[in-house]
Chains A and B, each alone.
Chain A
Amino acid sequence: MQTFDATYYDGQTAVRHAVTVHLYAEALDIVDADGQVIDQWSYQAINLSDQGGGITRLVVKDSAARLVLTAPKAFQALKKRAPNIDSQKQRTLRNMGLSVAVTVTLILGAYVSIPLMASAVVALIPYETEQNIGRGYAKDIQALFSKDEKSNKCTVDKGVKALNDMMAYLATHSFGPFAYQVKVIDNDMVNAMALPGGHIFIFRGLIDKAESSDELAGVLAHEMAHVDHRHGLHGVVRGFGFQMLSDMMFGGNVMGNLSNLMMMMSHSREAERQADIDAIAILRRANISTAGIARFFERLKDKEDEGKVSFFKIPTMLSSHPASDIREALAREIQSPSSMGWTLSDIQWQNLKAICGK
């Protein structure tokens, strides 16, 4: 039988006991100076509290008592018998694994739950509020691309009139509660975006790229569908949720403001699908050929395959999720002879193309 000296605290009083520890097969006995066994610890229940400066402090399950060892040999002898004693290194490794697992779980959990929560919150927000929020964002976007409202060149009267005519006609066939406002931004990007509350922005690059009024009408209908479904607001709420998560969970902004803005503006694949379905419905009701939008998407898709799509990855309908199954179906429709329906007159179309001046 092995014995060694130790210090024992009984967990009931602040008395320090000088003791002798006797190691037996299943348990150790703690024996005081008078030779009395004052405590008995089963090896199974013993764990390490801390270790350092030549001192090892041991704890036993369901007890406040402590045993402090100073002789290194004593600890070695005990470690062989007590299977649950771990070292600081083992502890750090375990905590490391645990915290990595927790981090991954939190991130995955956030990506699943935040969009769901955002949908619930969006349902609670009145349309009027959404319009107020959208107004603010619209100002920000315009400020981002031009110094002030006056310096935006894309306000040539005839072009604006043609665009607004198209918008007004499409609006009579749309589904949503919002009044739409469409503006063109003088920028090369082939892009368009729908903000909360009905603000739609089209980049000049997209108008340049469009070969017919059907194509532009298709894009507009798609953006209107985003507005109707409140996808923009959903993005804002979702972005807010992620922002809060990154601020609080990770104790700082991990994603950065820019990526957060992108997160807010980008739509999910499901949202794009919804927008495509509704866009086609709007076009059909408005008696506009869907072949236009199909051709447009097809052309963009080819571009994308070449990897030449705009550098600025502002996620929008065009760049974020280009190949939904609806778009595939539309692509097939190109083959069928397009039925002629409503369209801008050639003059109107030329005016619209020149909305940013020449």
Chain B
Amino acid sequence: METDVSNDLRRSTVPQTRALIQSHVAGFDLLKIYIVNLILMVLTLGIYRFWGKTRLRRYIWGNIEIMGDRLEYSGTGKELFIGFLVVFFLILFPLFAVISIVDGLLAGDHEQARLVLAAAQGLIIVFLVGVAFFRARRYRLTRTHWRGIYSSQTGSSVKYGLMVIASYGVTLLTLGLAWPVCSVWLKRYEMKHTWVGDEPFGFSPSVKKLYRSFLVVWAIGLLYMITVSIMSMNLLDFQTIFKTTSEGTPSNPEEIQALINMIFVMYLGLIPIGLAFLWYRGRAYNHFISSTQFHGHTLTSTNTGFGFMWLTVSNSLLVFFTVGLALPWAVKRYLNFVERHVGLVGDGDFSQLLQSTQDRPSHGEGLADAFDVGGI
């Protein structure tokens, strides 16, 4: 479809499902950007990444069309670099210097205190990853413009970081069972604090619906854990027999077979679990998208769990077998997938939407850079 931006938007008062997104991303254009970025990254020992990321985003944003108008990315490499410097010198460097010094002081006979310190360090990192994700999201949203108005994010990154700690903790304690509840909790916080112009998103997912899919994955995971532990227990028996009878090379063919079986099951078992999880994620995305409202419109999603699973698997294989060269096409396929499946129900009229009044951070993503969260 050609974008005829000089035409007036045709408005329909009857709610109907409309295409929301159209991607104009071209694989070769993207590849060119990736290659230039890679060369400059090497030449600058990685420092160019701030400018390279910006270039990439500018291209991708500028080639995504929402309801007939292309997005615009207005961030700069300088803002990312300053964000990085601020985080490095004001947070990370002092924090890890203090931790290392305290650890050094405790070296020797304070083993328990060191364990506590290590645990605290782990918690701090999980917390900072949460904060990083939320802050990076805020930066990206405030640099995303559509029809001249920009999006934004309210809410507190500290609160979000604490929510991430709590979510991971509860998920761990319930052997994963609490994950859908926690993910809805986090997602709701994200979406309810997301704005385009002067209006926030509505978000109303149902945890019950998610559990219908999640329990399948969880059961497969449980089955896997039980199988592996039974097999390893059997193996332990073999080992004790083996040790009492002879010492030296393993000779018992039964024992060797059991060991091979276990390794086989352990690694091959991960494949169905991974696939099942991707299937769940596809369904969860579908549900999250269709639970989103904005400006009198509701988003719709037609993607299936299997569709998302196939997209992810085929993209991974594509990237793997071309040693990364096909990454641009993987990105393109992903965007085309979104284009195919995400729609909008409503009259399509956004003319009442006003410019945002939210503040925009002057720099960004330092923490996200340090912890490698946030993808593109």
Contact = CB atoms under 8 A, between A and B. Distances in A.
Interface of A: 5-7, 9-16, 18, 49-53, 55, 57, 59, 64-66, 68, 70, 92, 95-96, 98-100, 102-103, 106, 121, 124-126, 128-129, 132-133, 136, 240, 244, 248-252, 254
Contacts of A100: 43-44
Contacts of A95: 48, 51, 55, 77
B120 interface: no
Given A16-B8, A55-B3, 6 more contacts: A14-B147, A50-B59, A64-B148, A64-B355, A249-B47, A252-B46
B283 interface: no
Report whether over half of chain A's contact residues are helix, strand or loop; otherwise say mixed: mixed
Contacts of B73: 50
A16 to B, nearest CB: 6
B47 A99 contact: yes
A103 B47 contact: yes
B151 to A, nearest CB: 11
B81 to A, nearest CB: 7
A124 B44 contact: no
Contacts of B147: 9, 14-16
A13 B355 contact: yes
B49 A251 contact: yes
B105 A99 contact: no
Interface residues of B, number: 60
B101 A125 contact: yes
B107 A129 contact: yes
Report whether over half of chain B's contact residues are helix, strand or loop; otherwise say mixed: mixed
B40 A96 contact: yes
Given A53-B24, A53-B63, A133-B107, A13 B48 contact: no
B93 interface: yes
Nearest to B197: A14
A133 B106 CA distance: 11
Contacts of A251: 46, 49, 369
7 contacts: A16-B5, A57-B72, A99-B40, A121-B101, A133-B104, A249-B46, A249-B88
Contacts of A132: 104, 107-108
Interface string B138-172: 00000001111110000000000000000000000
Contact of A50 (B58, B104, B146, B353): B58
A70 B5 contact: yes
B179 to A, nearest CB: 30
Nearest to A252: B46
Nearest to A251: B46
B72 A13 contact: no
